Structure 1
Amino acid sequence: MTQPLGRACSGLAPTTRTTLRPVPDEAAMTDVWRLVAAAQDGDVAAFGELYDRYVDVVYRYVLFRLGDRALAEDVTSETFLRALRRIGSVSYQGRDVGAWFITIARNLVLDHVKSSRYRFEVPTAELGETREEHAGPEQSVVRDATNAEVLRCVDKLNTDQRECIVLRFLHGLSVAETAEAMGRNEGAVKALQHRAVRKLAELLPRSLR
């Protein structure tokens, strides 16, 4: 049942992953955690480098959840303010520190949703900005229409399933990082992902399966 999701997202997930969050290699991971350690020792410039590395992925995650540029900017700023205050609490666990930033952002988004009953929205135009520069107009139209349909189906999933799909397939987090962001164990995330994929496969139009 995973084939429909893979085919439908073939034009969406890779571009989003490349633009938002390149998968860190071992050297890059080591470099990032050196910055974390320096920031924990009071090096403001090191935290500034962390900000530069992760502000885009945090902003786009928040924007995807809230659908409002100004609000996403505010929440992103608050995310890094909280991260700066709490930098001493994070420790290396073999994962990218980006998952920690996403966890903080997710909690802020949830707080906002609870306080304002803000409806989850999918700003498809924002995702369109990540498309490859060399794509022709015909390909862009087809891909954007496909993306919009997939995202409409994602919007019909329940809250947990939707969150899992967004983190795993649209923002490229690993199972471990998704588990950390959602406050669940890896087994629970795998089961949730399986159910989400099955449900999404049922919702997708036959032409996209």
Structure 2
Amino acid sequence: MEHIDIHGYLNKSANREEMFTYIFENYSQRVYNYIYYRVNSHYTAEDLMSTVFEKIMLKIDSYSEKKASFEVWLFAIARNVLNDHFRSLKRHTFFSLDIIRDLISKQPGPEEKMIANEANNKLLNCLKSLSEEERHIIALKFGANLKNVEIAEVLGTSSNNVGVMLFRIIKKLKILMEKEGYMYE
């Protein structure tokens, strides 16, 4: 993954629009994937992703390369947006229309789509049985596509510890998937 020289952009205020375009084009899919792994709703993930990029635009001047890499800073913002989202859900227990939209949009299709949906549903069910921290680590690794060193910076731990945690979580997921009847090819 190519690393961006944010300071080069920040020092040239005329290029801020170009910088935000570059950041969005290079990180939006990873941020979306990270959020989607956590919320399991396309609509909510899109809304939260836009909030993340809004905060990045507002806080870009506070970014310091001395404190953390840009990716770690960006995903810390994404994590905080997710935490705010989950806190608000705990305060306001309501029926989400996003769930209905997702269900309606998943109309049965050809056999391959049904098999893929079944496998995805099994995986999502297994992910739901993980702890909040385990889901967070999986989302950082596979949704955000961060390296163990970057995940360690976000979590405030060592990269070796992240590797051990990932190994255990994936082993746990494999066992859960096998219990769900998922067959590996």
Give the structure-2-normalised TM-score.
Answer: 0.71
Letter in 1 for 2:65: S
SS of structure 1 residue aligned to 2:56: helix
Higher relative contact order (CA 8 A, sep 6+): 1
Tell me the percent identity: 24
- The 1:38/1:60 distance shift into structure 2, 3 A limit, reads same
Q: Cα distance, 1:196 vs. partner?
A: 1.0
Match for residue 84 of structure 1?
57
Q: Name the SS of the counterpart of 1:90 in structure 2.
A: coil
Aligned to 1:64: 37
Please give the residue correspondences for 1:1-209 in structure 2 after superposition, counting only pairs within 5 Å: 24=1, 28-29=2-3, 32-33=4-5, 36-41=6-11, 42=13, 43-45=15-17, 46-88=19-61, 89-91=63-65, 97-117=70-90, 137-205=110-178, 207-209=182-184
Q: Which amino acid aligns with 1:164?
A: I
Rounded to whole Å, the distance in 2 between the matches of 1:111 and 1:94 is 22
Displacement of 1:138 in angstroms is 4.0
Count residues with an aligned counterpart.
166
Task: Please say if residues 175 and 190 of structure 1, whose CA atoms lie closer than 8 Å, have aligned partners that are also in contact.
Answer: yes
Deviations 1:168-205 (A, max 9, x none): 23442211122233343313212221221222122122
Distance in 2 between residues matched to 1:172 and 1:138, nearest whole Å: 30
TM-score by length of 1: 0.64
Partner of 1:17: none
Stretches of structure 1 that go unaligned for 5 or more consecutive residues are 1-23, 130-136
* Distance 1:56-1:172 versus aligned 2 partners, 3 A rule: closer
Shift of 1:165: 1.8
Structure 1 residue matching 2:157: 3-state secondary structure: coil
* Conserved? CA contact 2:68–2:153, under 8 Å: no
Report the AA paired with residue 152 of structure 1: N
| Contact kept? 2:126, 2:176, Cα under 8 Å | yes
Which runs of no fewer than 5 residues in structure 2 stay unpaired? 94-98
Q: CA deviation at 1:109?
A: 0.6
Q: How far apart in 1 are the matches of 2:38 and 2:50?
A: 16
By how many angstroms is 1:62 displaced? 2.2
CA RMSD of aligned residues (A): 3.3
Residue 77 of structure 1 and its aligned partner are, at CA, apart by: 2.5
- Identify which range, 53-62 or 84-93, moves more after superposition: 84-93
CA contact (8 A) 1:168 1:174 kept: yes
Larger radius of gyration: 2
